[in-house]
Amino acid sequence: MKRHFFGKLLAVALFGLLMCPSAASSRVTAMVEGSSDSVGITGIRGPNNIDQLVTISKTGGSINSAASEALFHKYEVQLKSETWGGTSGDKNGPTHVRSTAMFLGTAKVVSDTLPQGTLLRRFKVRLSFKGDLYSKSEPSGTRSAIAWFSTRLRTGGIDRFTGGGLLDSVAGFSGWGNLAQSFTQETDDWWTLVKGFNVNLGNLRVGQRVRFLLMGTTLACYDKDLPVEYCRPDFLSGWRRIFVRNLSAQEASLEFVPARRVRIFFRPVRIDPASPPKSFRVYIEADPTLLEKIQRTTVELMSSYTEYGPIPAISMGPIGDRDGNGKEDRALVFDGSDVLNLFDPASGVNYQILTVFGQCAGGNTFTGMEILRLKTD
């Protein structure tokens, strides 16, 4: 696996379990980020609520389509993502573009037959994939075009399923994690993934609410003067998708329930790669009831890059008004060097959309989103 190709799509959204009034529904978000031929390609749509499709599609440079879709219903979540590029060579810059679809929220264990508090051992959900990796370029030494896909399902601060695959136009295919052996070769430049998994979420109780994260990311990556016929990870067109649903054989189900969106901001507002700060603060701006109930030990910072993170919060500040706008906020503190590691210098992308999630007394969730940039001058 070529780690330096995997820049981080970079998502920061803050979500934790809180007991707070007037909560909105759990959220789905679609994002595109990167650059191609020195053309910046970026966009965020969402977060959207239950039964509301969120979709984004961008073009630029040698990228024909960078698109994501996300949708969730009461008992299921569906994500789609595609990044499609190709070039004749002799362009102005390399291509490194990533598309991500995410669900951020809470899953509540419900049952029509079992009483509240009933222990469910090794509770499972069905996670299914249908998608393709295409990559073909003219021979050019060891330089290649990479079509890449990764996924993560995480509950209660624990990764339950992570994995992915990449198709290198020179070196061929490699997979990792829970998807290491799941792709099938169709031709030299086409590998496919059509498979479902029963994913163990551990022991749960009827009535329990857990933080729930599902994401899917595609990446197209190649050098500026490499003739690329096509480089396309496709988990979007037709019936291609990532899909999580309940298993009918179980006496209980997961019901995706409310989260609350909050404003977040950073200090410092940029990170200097040559001298990262000792600590990095993510400020949550919300009503005092919400801020008072945050459980610091559950709060994490992460990107859509599944090989690094999430980063745990190391401390939490008092309630105040850091930006002086008359609205109360509270800082979650992270190690500055760990935050810098969410960036991949080889990608040529100097910004990310950061995501934090955590829990408060009571069990509801909140979510926020903001871009963090590297200091480049």
Range of the domain at 349: 8-24+260-377
* Distance between first and last Cα of the chain: 32
Beta bridge partners of 99: 32, 218
Strand segments, DSSP code E, in 277-335 are 279-285, 294-302, 311-312, 315-316, 329-335
Give the number of other CB atoms < 10 A from CB of residue 337: 14
CA 160/CA 158 separation, integer angstroms: 6
Q: What is the CATH number of the domain that holds 374?
A: 2.60.40
Please state whether 177 falls in left (phi above 0), alpha (psi between -120 and 50) or beta.
Answer: left
Residues 242 and 365 occupy one common structural domain: no
> If you count them, how many residues does the chain have?
377
Quick one: which H or E segment has residue 288?
Answer: helix 288-292
pTM for the full predicted model: 0.86
- Is 2 contained in some domain? no
163 and 50 belong to one structural domain: yes
Contact between residue 153 and residue 211 where contact means Cβ atoms under 8 Å apart: no
* Secondary structure of residue 289 in the 3-state scheme: helix
Structure tokens that stand for 334 in this block: 């992270």
Q: Is the same domain home to 39 and 165? A: yes
d(CA 363, CA 366): 10
In degrees rounded to 5, what are phi and psi of residue 11?
-125, 130
Domains identified in the chain, total number: 2
Q: Establish if 200 belongs to a structural domain.
A: yes
88 & 221 share domain: yes
Q: pLDDT tens string for the chain (377 positions)? A: 333 333 333 333 333 333 333 333 346 788 887 788 888 888 888 778 888 899 999 999 999 999 999 999 999 999 999 999 998 777 788 898 989 998 888 899 999 999 999 999 999 999 999 999 999 999 888 889 999 999 999 998 899 999 999 999 999 999 999 999 999 999 999 999 999 999 999 999 999 999 899 999 999 999 888 999 999 999 999 999 999 999 998 999 999 875 677 888 999 999 998 898 999 999 999 889 889 999 888 888 877 655 677 899 999 999 999 999 999 999 999 999 999 888 766 666 677 778 878 777 777 777 777 888 888 77
- In a domain, residue 65? The reply is yes
